[in-house]
Structure 1
Amino acid sequence: MNLSSHLDRRTLIRATAAGLLLPALSPAWARSGSHGILPGQGGTLSGEDIALSIGHSPFALGDRQGHAVTVNDAFPAPLIRLREGQNVRIAVTNTLDEDSSIHWHGLLVPFQYDGVPGISFPGIGPGETFTYDFPVRQAGTYWYHSHSNMQEAMGLYGAIVIDPAHGNGVTADREHILVLSDWSFTHPHILLRRLKQMGGYYNRQRQTVAGLLEGRGQPLGERLDWAAMRMDPTDISDVTGAAYSYLINGHDNGANWTGLFTPGETVRLRIVNASAMTNFNIRLPGLPMTVVQADGQDVRPVETDEFQIAIAETYDVLVQPQEHRAYGFVAEAIDRSGQCRATLAPQMGMVADIPAMRERPLLTMRDMGMDHGGMSHGGMDHTAMGHEGMNHSMPASSAPMDHGSMKMRDPSVAPQVPLGPGVASLSPMPVDRSGDRPTGLEHVSHRVLTYRDLVAALPNPDTRPPAREIELHLTANMERYMWSFDGVKYSDGADPIPFRLGERARVTLINDTMMPHPIHLHGHFFELVTGGDETAKPRKHTVNVLPGGKLSFDLTADAPGDWAFHCHMLLHMHSGMFRIVTVREDEA
């Protein structure tokens, strides 16, 4: 349907004249000039009964005007603040003329209130109200968003803060909530259609002959290698700054969202990546950050200068600005096609600098799962490579291929993945990349957070060894813009992934694509296997699997029901990278 029909030109002009645009749309916590959100202050929705209304609202960004899908006429949606141990009833009314829904991202709720249409409930029809009723079982920083019709990309997302039942494990004088997003005035269905027509439609940073002659980018040998494989090392993000504006609390650089502080205070920043398609690199130049929480779970404090936050992740950090000056909070898209800056300042009217965009990153053979040691790029043999990547005609009984010192996986022992039209290539040598700096931060001179830096603040609740192991491949054909698990799109009848209630299993994700994938499991936390303390593995609900890499987590299947398991890149999920996890009691 054409959503623009909900907001004709005259309505938009009247709304503009009435001042109902960007700053006024923002809830109090998201407006520029925030003094911080502390327990008990206003500007939030809280209590045991909360009412939300989903609808359309006008929206402006600079001199461009359009509309957003909003909650209670707010963009981003209102902050919901709860307390661990309470019960909450959230009545959600849908005023759209299409179905809608809300998923409570990271919250441990009964599956019938998880908010995924077709899996946990039918959805919320036009004009209907659905009441979510559940106990609040945890504390931390989380968020909520639609799971219907890609409304999430159009503004239907907001932050959730849950205060601990007893005390506060993280001490701060002030806190600010920073919700990151990517915004396009082009409807997400149109973005997807263009990517279906040409996978690299929004990649405007391809390498050029002029760049090669000037010595920029890759050496000639590497360029020829990539060309022979019909792949592009600049193809890092599907939808880029060519289509997106990057926002913090609904504000762009010009709007300059500002959070106030008093020099010497400890300030807690609750950071949520609510983007549809963008991972961000986060830094505050001149101000180190101490990470104290990941995905709402406390971790042992670790200081860093920069970290990457994948789509759907949350991080809480502490900063201690000492000087009476403005500091820039910089969220840079990982492909460096754009960035957004907010300001932390001791008074209103101060504006932090917008740093120059750093040089675009380039993918390497490691990002293709070719951890080839000292192999010369220019000496790579492509005789076994088809135009999409690895040669799919190789019989299953063939011996491992040898490209110089690079050994391919033996297909006679490796798990078999269908190599059909939806699978362009398989990573020949995937490695654990939990200790790798993420895409675009491999060579910066300062400290960068990796998953191996994260250690749970409290012992893991279940330290049993896994009783079985499951391996899943993240697969794709970029030219056809098809995404899947193990080569099977969800719409093509992908089987559920079954677990027995209470069982302990290790899941290994192998990324056979050239892009990172933030993979989210509903209804559960899992523990990342990072090689560190086995009793204090970091607990998360979303994990970013780097290109050509693999990552394992241990899961206790303790929530009965049917749960979504998917890539949180919205267009990837919509195009097939989605499965159902079932948790059932053993039959008698």
Structure 2
Amino acid sequence: MNTTLDRRQLLRGAALAGSTGALATWMPAWAQPISAGIVKPLPTVSGEEITLRIGRTPVTIDGRTLRAVGVNGTVPAPLIRLREGQNVRLHVVNELGEESSIHWHGLILPFHMDGVPGVSFPGIPAHSTFTYEFPIVQAGTYWYHSHSGFQEQEGLYGPIVIDPKGTDPAQADREHVIVLSDHSPLLGSKIFSKLKKQSGYFNRQRQTLGGLLAGRDQPPAERLMWGKMRMDPTDVSDVTGSTYTYLVNGHGPKDNWTGLFRPGERVRLRIVNASAMTTFNVRIPGLPMTVVQADGLNVRPVEVGEFQFGPAETYDVVVIPPEERAYTLVGESVDRSGMARMTLAPREGMAAAVPPLRKRPVATMKDMGMGGHDMSTMDHGSMPGMDHAAMGHGAGDAPAGQGSSASGAMSGHDMGSMNMRDFSVAPGVKKGPGVQTISPMPVDRTGEPGQGLEDVGHRVLTYRDLIALDRNPDVRAPSRELEIHLTGNMERYMWSLDGEKLSEVKAPIPFLTGERVRVTLVNDTMMGHPIHLHGHFFELVTGHGAHSPRKHTVLVQPGGKVSWDVTANEGDWAFHCHMLYHMAAGMMQVVQVRSAKGGAA
């Protein structure tokens, strides 16, 4: 292998092409390569008849062998390549000793083929086979994953690419499918148990006295306010790089998965966030990206330097590498506790420098639903201790070690003129220990780049940048409006919709077949939530009329709100946060769509 770096590139100070070994000293320790680069496309299956076998399989990540749940012996599961207009039969063989399932995320299909146990079908029992069959009525980049237990966290996920019947408007000379995910040596059930016992268990980036003295953390007055509320502004991600390794196509940062190109080529990157819990910030230092597709549907091209996307979202971008050098694609976790990393290069064995992790974000009053209210103008004296009794539990109920986590009720506590327990602004929310706060002034944040990306020095994609390439199929005005609050108690790790966990809900959310409904999601928590409605695309209300972007998943920023219009498709459909442990804790309901005459599809 060539061990010499280009001298001119070194002198320019750029982390450019060169041997992996020569660049190792430029990289953070956790990203230093153990291989010359893995140039290995994802295994692919296609055709009218496809067999997928779910089973236990070992995976090797950064030289370490771990247990996983895979499909056909691989993690991620094989790339399923289909064509718009075909029919497909997918024979899913469950070789596990437990129930399993596969949900075809983003695909429009009959609801009984959607793959959610207890909602749209009974699940796939251990050591049995279930055949999914449905027509392919769309094109684009999608993915599939288990909807049973924590199997998705343990490896049961894979990409889907559907080629269009006609000409693809996003022309490219070559493409790479890039699946970002998170993997832990801990079983999903163990992670969930730790979160329930101590919600901040995985947060290793809390504020310290040293950080305060060095000016890295909040100013003293602001920190005092958060302390009085007993809330932790660094609680950005529930599960972090303290247990996760962030993967590209099943490979860790040290593995250096590599996608090849020729200088000047248009290279399409189909990027899927298949993580269980991680919102990623994606960028390629030194190489702009042109976004051409969002959640599988074409958008007008928009050039950006970075984008943030939550679990279950997908973006297709086109890049044109001008030089014969290597580039690093970075998928940095939103809390900056780690990153997925890969290389784009003209030949195998090359690498570029891996940028250091940036300073982790700290939640602001806007993230608490204060609409950007300035803490310095608030009456600090109006913040007495937390009234835990108002939440139906005493201070002693909190597990040990959680004093710095968001906790208890703010029963009637005014932050200046803002009451974070004013249920009159959310009359549809059920009061109880599962609702810690109500956002006093939630704002539409679809024009913002995402938590922690406000001042990065380059253009970051926002939802308002997305404009549908084609006119939307249904441009009727909605006939009614529905407001749904995303609620939680972060200390007790309780998550819900409108204050009710799935286990507490007495009836599904009713829709009529074909009706147009405007849904407004209000985030009453200080953590982002990617909300997914199965079996539908909805149009974000961002001012683009008949060309509003259509998505199947939307990341609702902390303290923010998002509105979208949807045309209801008949059936029973899961509606939930795509943070796996939020869903498991109760942030899920069922949307039931019936014709006006009654009956199901």
Q: TM-score, normalised by structure 1?
A: 0.90
Which residue is equivalent to 2:503? Answer: 491
Determine which of 541, 545, 551 is the counterpart of 1:534: 545
Checking the alignment, whether the CA contact within 8 Å between 1:372 and 1:406 is kept in structure 2 is: no
Which residue is equivalent to 2:514? Answer: 502
Find the aligned partners of 1:377 and 1:233 in 2 and give their Cα distance: 19
Which residue is equivalent to 2:236? Answer: 236
What CA deviation, in whole Å up to 9, does each residue of 1:94-125 have, x standing for no partner?
A: 01010000000000010110000111111111
Checking the alignment, whether the CA contact within 8 Å between 2:145 and 2:158 is kept in structure 1 is: yes
For 1:502-521, what aligned pairs fall within 5 Å after superposition? 502-521=514-533
For 1:55-454, what aligned pairs fall within 5 Å after superposition? 55-374=55-374, 376=376, 379-380=379-380, 381-383=382-384, 386=387, 393-394=411-412, 403-404=415-416, 411-412=423-424, 414-454=426-466
Checking the alignment, whether the CA contact within 8 Å between 2:143 and 2:159 is kept in structure 1 is: yes
Gaps of 5+ in 1: 1-30, 38-42, 395-400
Checking the alignment, whether the CA contact within 8 Å between 1:342 and 1:352 is kept in structure 2 is: no
CA spacing shift, 1:96–1:494, aligned 2, 3 Å: same
Find the aligned partners of 2:454 and 2:387 in 1 and give their Cα distance: 29
Find the aligned partners of 2:89 and 2:340 in 1 and give their Cα distance: 35
Amino acid at match of 2:544: D
Amino acid at match of 1:587: K
The answer to whether the aligner puts 1:473 opposite 2:473 as a matched pair is no
Amino acid at match of 1:382: M
User: How far off its partner does 1:60 sit?
Assistant: 2.2
Find the aligned partners of 2:525 and 2:313 in 1 and give their Cα distance: 21
What CA deviation, in whole Å up to 9, does each residue of 1:326-364 have, x standing for no partner?
A: 000000000000012100000001012111111111010
Which residue is equivalent to 1:462? Answer: 474
Amino acid at match of 1:84: E
Checking the alignment, whether the CA contact within 8 Å between 2:365 and 2:374 is kept in structure 1 is: no
Find the aligned partners of 2:512 and 2:438 in 1 and give their Cα distance: 30
Checking the alignment, whether the CA contact within 8 Å between 1:469 and 1:507 is kept in structure 2 is: yes
Checking the alignment, whether the CA contact within 8 Å between 2:180 and 2:248 is kept in structure 1 is: yes
The answer to whether the aligner puts 1:565 opposite 2:571 as a matched pair is no
The answer to whether the aligner puts 1:550 opposite 2:565 as a matched pair is no
Amino acid at match of 1:474: L
User: How far off its partner does 1:443 sit?
Assistant: 1.5
CA spacing shift, 1:55–1:389, aligned 2, 3 Å: closer
Amino acid at match of 1:149: G
Which residue is equivalent to 2:38? Answer: 32
SS at 2:211's partner residue? helix
Q: How large is the Cα RMSD of the aligned pairs?
A: 1.8
User: How far off its partner does 1:413 sit?
Assistant: 5.6
SS at 1:464's partner residue? coil
Find the aligned partners of 1:561 and 1:211 in 2 and give their Cα distance: 53
Amino acid at match of 1:575: A
CA spacing shift, 1:265–1:192, aligned 2, 3 Å: same
Find the aligned partners of 2:512 and 2:137 in 1 and give their Cα distance: 22
Checking the alignment, whether the CA contact within 8 Å between 2:101 and 2:116 is kept in structure 1 is: yes
User: How far off its partner does 1:417 sit?
Assistant: 1.6
Amino acid at match of 1:533: H
Gaps of 5+ in 2: 1-36, 389-405
Percent of residue pairs bearing the same amino acid type: 62
Q: Which has the higher contact order (CA 8 A, sep 6+)?
A: 2
What CA deviation, in whole Å up to 9, does each residue of 1:474-501 have, x standing for no partner?
A: 0111111110001100012353111000
What CA deviation, in whole Å up to 9, does each residue of 1:202-230 have, x standing for no partner?
A: 01000001111112111000101111111
SS at 2:153's partner residue? helix
Find the aligned partners of 1:117 and 1:420 in 2 and give their Cα distance: 28
What CA deviation, in whole Å up to 9, does each residue of 1:50-105 have, x standing for no partner?
A: 01111111122234322111101111100000000000000000010100000000
Checking the alignment, whether the CA contact within 8 Å between 2:229 and 2:385 is kept in structure 1 is: no
SS at 1:55's partner residue? strand
Which residue is equivalent to 1:10? Answer: none
SS at 1:376's partner residue? helix
What CA deviation, in whole Å up to 9, does each residue of 1:227-274 have, x standing for no partner?
A: 111111100000000010000001112110000000000000000000
Checking the alignment, whether the CA contact within 8 Å between 1:287 and 1:321 is kept in structure 2 is: yes
Checking the alignment, whether the CA contact within 8 Å between 1:221 and 1:377 is kept in structure 2 is: no
The size of the alignment, in residue pairs, is 544
Amino acid at match of 1:570: L
Amino acid at match of 1:280: F
User: How far off its partner does 1:419 sit?
Assistant: 2.3
Find the aligned partners of 2:325 and 2:214 in 1 and give their Cα distance: 39
SS at 2:46's partner residue? coil
User: How far off its partner does 1:379 sit?
Assistant: 4.0
Amino acid at match of 2:340: C
User: How far off its partner does 1:391 sit?
Assistant: 5.8
Amino acid at match of 2:342: A
Which residue is equivalent to 1:13? Answer: none
